[in-house]
Structure 1
Amino acid sequence: MSKNHKDEHVLVFPSNLLKNIGYFQGLSFEINKYLNVIKPKYSSLPRSEAEENPEYKQLISYAILRHGKKIFSYKRGKLLSEKRLFDNYSIGVGGHILGNNDRDLFEEEQTKGVEREIREEIFIGTNYQSRHVALLNDDSNEIGKVHFGLIYLFDLDEANVKKKEKSINEQTFFTVQELKKNIRRYENWSRICIDNIERLTD
């Protein structure tokens, strides 16, 4: 979500699919249950159109970076393309998954989406292991109503992370206790993840 690419096509799926599969608010750890149904139904829309159409959910990769027992955190700055998130703190480095009409490439595009956004926003100067740990749905606000999160965990060998985007500020690593103590200053998605951080990082 770092750049203003309103003309690019992003992957979406019909919002009512969630009711058919099993609606949830917050996190779900039944990844295959949902993605196996979403995969045949996804399509692509111009991002500018998708942002204003709650009949569709845009797929968003959202990576949590961990080193040891600490989690990467930052503050979203003025140059963020999604102005509604400005001045919020976040523990997720994420972005839209670009549209592709080849369903056989769904998993590849999914992986590319999170890796591409990480490379655009930050530099990781260490080895890491990554895995897909959960899904996130948050219909409590206008942003959440048009987005659907694919939550990843990146385990870093070293706490060597530097920002590339000017919209990333005050980057640091916090303990879980520090995150929970200051949870009110974080954006909704991060709050949901912090509330469930033990399970996400298990």
Structure 2
Amino acid sequence: MSIVETEQVMVVATAVFHQCGHFQGFSADMDRYLKVLLDPTHTSYRPRDEMESDPSFKQLIPYCIFRHTADDGTVSIYQYTRGKGQGESRLHSKRSIGIGGHISTLDAGEDSPYDQGMQRELEEEVKIETPFEQNCVGLINDDETEVGKVHLGVVHIFDVQTQNVHSNEDDILEDGFVPISDLLADTGRFETWSQICLNSGLFS
């Protein structure tokens, strides 16, 4: 009988996050958090199945949002529905504006495991067939949901020249760019992290 290798994901102790300053929702104060949270002396790799139910650790997750601004100033955001084959079962069938996933030991040999992991997740999940500019804009923390208690999101906005971003896997469904005004009128269908980003003022 074969033994399935357990995925080891990057985490930081929740106590370290609290020492930097606990917040609920969105924070644009990256300088306060990222240098500490991504310091190799504070990160470790632990079994994902254990970390999903252990709020003493936060799994660090890149959360990449694709934004397109038309010539007339209309802002649209890439969004999709999470299929049942995606890793986090508690988010299945939810709408989302974020692409990304766990940093794992697959990325551990690189100079920047976080950057390498983000790039790997993007290549797995979407096809980006347009020039873009990328900026890290803040963090998401949500201790009001069971999923949020064990994850910490790092928000990256990709400003794309065209809307040529498409699903690269079967479980990213009903994808495409939608005007931000339409998304703001229908936030209840989205996962909590997407709601936090949409309501944060990032796109106003």
Is the structural similarity TM-score above 0.5? yes
Q: Does the residue aligned with 1:94 lie in a helix, a strand or coil?
A: coil
Match of 1:59 in 2: 60
Q: How does 1:37-186 map to 2 (within 5 A)?
A: 37-38=36-37, 39=39, 40-68=41-69, 69-99=75-105, 105=111, 108-186=112-190
- Conserved in 2, the CA contact under 8 Å of 1:6 and 1:46? no
Inter-partner Cα distance in structure 2 for 1:10 and 1:85: 18
Higher helix share: 1
Conserved in 1, the CA contact under 8 Å of 2:140 and 2:153?
Answer: yes
Deviation, structure 1 residue 52: 2.0
Q: In 2, are the aligned partners of 1:180 and 1:194 still within 8 Å (CA)? A: yes
Equivalent residue, structure 1, for 2:18: 19
Where do 5+ consecutive residues of structure 2 fail to align? Answer: 70-74
Rounded Cα–Cα distance in structure 2 between residues aligned with 1:180 and 1:20: 33
In structure 2, the CA distance between the partners of 1:101 and 1:70, relative to structure 1 (3 Å rule), is: closer
Q: CA RMSD in A?
A: 1.9
Length, aligned pairs only: 193
User: 2 CA distance for matches of 1:137 and 1:76?
Assistant: 20
Taking structure 1 as the reference length, the TM-score comes to: 0.89
Shift of the 167–101 alpha-carbon distance from structure 1 to 2, 3 Å rule, reads closer
Q: Which has the greater radius of gyration?
A: 2
Distance 1:146 1:30 in 2: 20
2:101 is paired with a residue whose SS is: strand
Q: Distance in 2 between matches of 1:132 and 1:111?
A: 11
Q: How far apart are residue 117 of structure 1 and its match?
A: 0.9
Question: What is the TM-score with the length of structure 2 in the denominator?
Answer: 0.88
Structure 2 CA distance for aligned equivalents of residues 44 and 151 of structure 1? 21
Query: Which shifted more, 58-67 or 16-25?
Result: 16-25
2:134 match: secondary structure: strand
Q: Is the 8 A contact 1:127 1:156 kept in 2?
A: yes
- Give the conservation status (yes or no) of the 8 Å contact 2:166–2:176: no
After the TM superposition, list the runs of 4 or more consecutive aligned residues in structure 1 that deviate by more than 3 angstroms: 99-102
Percent of aligned positions with the same letter in both sequences?
38
